[in-house]
Structures are given as C-alpha cells and as structure tokens.
Structure 1
Amino acid sequence: MITISNVGQFRMELNKILEEIDKRLFLIVSDEIYFLNSFVKSFKKIVPNEFKDFNEYTLFADEIKFQDLILKSSNFPLMGSKQVFFIKNSSKFSKDFELHLSKLLSTNPNSILVFLSSDTALLKKKKIINFFDNNGVSISFKKIYENQISSWIVDIARTHEINLSPKSCYLISEICGNNLSLIDNEFSKLKLNLNSNNEVDEEVILETFGINKEYNIFELQNYYGKRELKKVIEISEYFSGNNKNYPIQLVLASLYSYYQKIFQIQSLKNQSKSLISKETGINPYFLDQFMFSAQKINMKESVRILDTIKKFDLKSKGIEGINDDSSLLKQLALQILT
C-alpha cells in the first residue's frame, strides 16, 4: 500500500496515474474528500473529452450491485481505447470484496476501476488491501498534522494559480484548520477577487472568508502575545457577540495551539531559528513575533496558561459547572493576563 504523508509524495502519485496506464484496479481511501476528488480529477484525464459521455462512469456502491459492476466493466469501451469507472462509497462493497475479489480480474482489460472510500475502516481489511497491492494500486493517507498545514495550503493555492503571502496562509490555517476541501472551495471563491498579479493579500482573505479586519483570531493571538489586556478583551467581546462565526471551542483551540508553540520555543532555548521553526512548525515569517512573546513569560507561566485554557474549554462544554459563554473569553483574558 502507498501511504501518502506529504505534499511532494501526493503530487508524485497524482502524476504517476497517467504514466501507469497499464494498471487498472485502484483503491483510494481517505476521510479527506479533497484527496479523493484530486485523484478523480487525475483519472478523468485518461478519457478524452469527446468520449467522456461514453467511456466515463460515476457509480455509487450503495446504489449498484457488485455483480452489475462486474458485468458493466466487462464490456468493451463504446468508443476510444479506455473506459474509467469511479465507484464511490466503496466500503459498501466490503462483503462483496471479501467473497468475489477475483471477479475484478475478469473485467475488460480496457476498463479502469477506481474504488473510492472515505471510510478508513476499509484499511483494516487485509485481504482486500493485499489484493489491490498485488493486482493494482492501493493508496491511503497519513493524518495531516498542524505543522504540515501551511504546505498543503500553499500547494492547493498553486492549483488555483494563486500566490499566498505568509500571513494569508496563516489566516487560512486558523480559519479552516486541516479541512482541505473547505480550503479548496474558498480558493475557488478567491479567484473572483484576485488582483492583477494573482497574489492574495490579507484584505482579499478577510473579505472572502467574512472576517473582520481588526477582530480575528490572528489579532487575538497577537495581543495575547504582547499581553495587551485591553485589546484582548475588546476582541474577546466581539467574538462573544459573534459566536456563530467564532465558536468558543474554536477560539480556545486556537489559543491553546498558540501557547503550545510558545512553550515549545521556551523548551528550545539557545537553539537556532531554523531548528525552532522546524520543530514547532512556525513559519519563519512569524518566528520573531512568537519568540518575542515567548520572552514575555516563563515556562512555568506557559504551563499555567495551558492548564487554564483546558479548564475553560471544559467550562464551555458544561463539564465544569454551568457558564455563560458570553463572558467566558473575557474571564479567560483576565485570568491569563492579570
């Protein structure tokens, strides 16, 4: 099985599809829809546009019988040399796979079958995985960690011919997290607001994502780092009054991640900036800002702040007493900065 863990490997495997046209059985499993859709786009290049109506099929495993798929893919292409079958929700075929895998080998040699599944439980079916490894290709994906997000965002931006500034990349990661499908969709919207050199500046990001220029998570972190209580409370109150756009759990998770990085920097004292950037996943563009904030408090204080954020997260979920969400962020600011 091919397990994709980074952008470079992802692009390499996408490009290999057209090179490995001799292989015709593919199993692609990921709970990130963006990955599945990207492979579909690559496979779609196999069938010329003029033949797509005849030789390209999108089927759903919960709507078609396995035997009917075998019969359909055993026919010759109506026109052209290849026909491609996309079978979505393929985990629904788990039992059929277990019993009738060998029947896939009897399909027409000019048929390419691409089984797509967002159910990662399918990866535990060793018999199925081994079959695709021996007779075709199976692909899975490693979890995307926080320090990898920026590279994926930049890569997706490039597919839309968009140039990102470091701050814009950071804003997108804070807003969307590792939801690559959402990021891809937002870039489609961004294309409508691009300036002449295709660079997405902060204003375009804010406009497209509906974020207030002064009151956003990036600015909240910035003022926490500077320990400017008045501005932190001001932004916190704005968030509390707009909790649909800024759910308290999202804000708390962002602050926790921010102070985790502060703690990591403190634990890497006297190390080079390049090493700190690599270990923490902080873009070098923002590293000085983080390092400045790390000097404002000591490690003991960082641990206290992380513990405080955890407690407020429990409060926001009603686990540690009943609290009014509208005042929690203000209370948090007072506990951290006073």
Structure 2
Amino acid sequence: MILNFDKIASDIGHKKFYPIYILTGEEAYYIDAVSHLIENNVLAEHEKIFNQTIVYGKDINPAYIKEACLRFPMMAEYNVLIVREAQDCKKLMDEMLPYFERPNKSTILVLCIKYQKLDKRTKVYKSIEKNPDCCVLEASKIKENLLVEWIENYLKNNNFQITRRASILLADYLGNNLSTLSNELEKLILIKKDVRQIDLQDIETHIGISKEYNVYELQKALATKNIQKVTRIYNYLKNNSKAAAMNLITGTLFSYFFKAFVFENPKKNVNTLHSEMGMEYWQVNELQPAIQNYHGKIDKVLEIIREYELKSKGINSREIPDSELLKEMIFKILAV
C-alpha cells in the first residue's frame, strides 16, 4: 500500500511494522530516514548481531535477497534485511514479485530505491500498490515554496526557533536537497543547543552564508537595479568563491526572473496562477520590482542568464573564470 513519510514514521514509532518496505523516489532524504528508523527501532542492540543485515544493491542479486528473507530470526521477533542503493540490483522488482505476494511475516525487508519512480503500468506496481504486506513510499522532491516551512518545522520538532529571514536565506542558498539541509540544520542544533534560537548571524557564522552578500540579496539588487549594491555583492562573491557557485547563481536568478515573466504576462487569473505555481503571496510581491524595472524586457534577462549558464559549463565559450562570467552577466542584466 502507498503511505506517506509521516504515516510510516508514526507506525514505526508505535511498533507497527510491515514485512516489506519499498522506498522509492527522487528525494533520498525520506528514503534514508525510513531506513534509519527501521535500523534503529525494530531490534534491540543485542538482537542485531544475528538478525539485522545491511547490504548494497551492487553487491547482491535477487536470489540472495529471497534466501535471506526466508531465514527465521534467532532469539528475536524479526529478521531485518536492509538493501541500500537497491536500484543497482538488476531485475530486482520482477524477480522479487513472488516474494512480495507471499512474504515471510517474521522478516522485515527494506528496499531503498533512490532517484527512481516505479512504473505504475507494471504488474509489480499493481501487485504491491494495494498489498497490505507492502509499505510503499514514493518520495518526491519538495517544492521550493515549501522549503521555508520545512526548515521551520524541522527546527520546531527539535524545540528550536529560527527567524524568517534566516530560514529564507538557508532555503535560497541550499535549495531543495533535504539531505544537505538537514545536515546543516543538525550542525546548527548542536552548536546552538543552549540558546535554541537561530538568526542571520548564526547562518553567516556557522554555515558560511553572508547575510548581506548572497544570491538572494544579489537577486533583490538586480531586481531594483541598485548598481552600488550589485557591485558590493559582486566584489564579495568574487573574493569568496565558496559563497556561491555559478550554477547556483544562474539557477536562482533564472527561477526568479522566469516567475516575474509569467506574472508580467499572466494567461490566467493571478490568484489561480500563484496557487498553481506553488507560491506564497509574499513571494509574488517580491517579483514586483523586477516586473516594474524590466517591463517588457524580462525575456531578454532570461536569455542573458541562460547564455552565461551555458558559458559556465564551457559550452560555446572559451575557458573564462566564473568571476568574470558573473561580472559580465550581472552588468548585462543591469543594462537591459
């Protein structure tokens, strides 16, 4: 059966387990999280020696998995088999179908199939979709507009608070890779354990993101055509290459100006459009400076960003340092 992460985590917390966990999707964070919950919550430490096995897909085959699943636990309630990177095990799903249909109830099998979605047209999917013995997680990438809320909820669950500007900066800088985000948040939780409040200064000090000179501030400066601020941010980024990679800058700016382009030329009601694009009202309001200052020319800005994204990858360009490409790009944008 198809279950979401919260339901699966709740069931594990209440010691409700399924014989088979099939964890799939593009978001590795949730796959790893369920795997670790099972690894740490099914068996006691002394039971794990004989009853818990962790293997990698490239090292085994379906026959090994089936044989391991048919073993009975030794002085424990369950035999646990976790297959990480199961996508590397060839013909896995097809050959495991008979076992999925009649599993050993004393075994908990966890298949971690990262960066892939199951084909819903297959016999395998139709079999496991409603199978009460199969717990299926389909982990999709989180939408960008939900990142700030995700960060705040993650910290809230750990009895921490974060200012809105700090959470926005983290979301813009780190993007929707939840594994990276959670690692950085855990770092902050460890460092700030006695204060339990995180602000912009903490982000700058402990994560290395400047609260004044970052991609988000560059985006705002370009939108308002604030040449002095753009120059200051460029000089900082030029001398701090780790502060923002060129692909991060072009990706962030393209996303922002593309949204501005859509809202400048709406083909639907603006309220409907912002909902369909998964944007909050405050995010729509942040597009207004770009719409006003680049009226009728946002498509030119997008062309410039796309051009320099390709140049940064060495396409149709001689080898030029990212700092020079960045300077060319931002001042071309300001000239539009």
Of 302, 314, 325 in structure 2, the residue corresponding to residue 318 of structure 1 is 314
Quote the Cα distance in structure 2 between the aligned partners of 1:270 and 1:73: 54
Alpha-carbon shift at residue 38 of structure 1 (Å) = 1.3
Of 113, 118, 123 in structure 1, the residue corresponding to residue 114 of structure 2 is 118
Of 298, 307, 328 in structure 2, the residue corresponding to residue 331 of structure 1 is 328
After TM superposition, the structure 1 = structure 2 runs for residues 49-68 of structure 1, keeping only pairs within 5 Å, are 49=45, 51-68=47-64
Alpha-carbon shift at residue 90 of structure 1 (Å) = 1.9
Q: CA RMSD for the aligned pairs?
A: 3.3
Quote the Cα distance in structure 2 between the aligned partners of 1:278 and 1:259: 18
Quote the Cα distance in structure 2 between the aligned partners of 1:58 and 1:215: 44
Of 295, 302, 310 in structure 2, the residue corresponding to residue 306 of structure 1 is 302
Amino acid in the other structure paired with 2:297: E
Quote the Cα distance in structure 2 between the aligned partners of 1:62 and 1:136: 23
After TM superposition, the structure 1 = structure 2 runs for residues 1-338 of structure 1, keeping only pairs within 5 Å, are 2=2, 9-17=4-12, 21=16, 23-43=18-38, 44-49=40-45, 51-95=47-91, 97-99=93-95, 101-103=97-99, 108-120=104-116, 123=119, 126-133=122-129, 134=131, 135-194=133-192, 196=194, 198-267=196-265, 278-279=275-276, 281-284=278-281, 288-298=285-295, 300-322=296-318, 324=320, 325-338=322-335
SS at match of 1:295: helix
TM-score, scaled relative to structure 2 = 0.83
Alpha-carbon shift at residue 182 of structure 1 (Å) = 0.6
Q: Deviations over 1:245-301 (max 9, x none)?
A: 4222221111112222333443459978x7676455455556544434533332x12
Distance change (3 Å), C-alpha of 1:47 and 1:267: farther
SS at match of 2:91: helix
Q: Is the 8 A contact 1:29 1:123 kept in 2?
A: no
Q: Is the 8 A contact 2:162 2:198 kept in 1?
A: yes
Q: Is the 8 A contact 1:27 1:139 kept in 2?
A: yes
Quote the Cα distance in structure 1 between the aligned partners of 2:21 and 2:62: 16
**Percent same amino acid among aligned pairs?**
25
Amino acid in the other structure paired with 1:199: Q
Amino acid in the other structure paired with 1:29: T
Amino acid in the other structure paired with 1:56: Q
Q: Is the 8 A contact 2:27 2:178 kept in 1?
A: yes
Quote the Cα distance in structure 2 between the aligned partners of 1:216 and 1:114: 41
Contiguous gaps of at least 5 residues in structure 1: none
| Divergent runs of 4+, >6 A | 269-272
Q: Is the 8 A contact 2:81 2:110 kept in 1?
A: yes
Quote the Cα distance in structure 1 between the aligned partners of 2:199 and 2:53: 40
Alpha-carbon shift at residue 201 of structure 1 (Å) = 0.7
Distance change (3 Å), C-alpha of 1:88 and 1:172: same
SS at match of 1:84: strand
Q: Is the 8 A contact 1:74 1:111 kept in 2?
A: yes
SS at match of 1:120: coil
Amino acid in the other structure paired with 1:98: D
Quote the Cα distance in structure 1 between the aligned partners of 2:137 and 2:268: 41
SS at match of 2:58: coil
Distance change (3 Å), C-alpha of 1:108 and 1:197: same
Distance change (3 Å), C-alpha of 1:105 and 1:19: farther
Amino acid in the other structure paired with 1:330: K
SS at match of 2:315: coil
TM-score, scaled relative to structure 1 = 0.82
Q: Is the 8 A contact 2:311 2:317 kept in 1?
A: yes
Question: For this pair of structures, how many residues does the alignment match?
Answer: 331
Amino acid in the other structure paired with 2:32: N
Alpha-carbon shift at residue 85 of structure 1 (Å) = 1.8
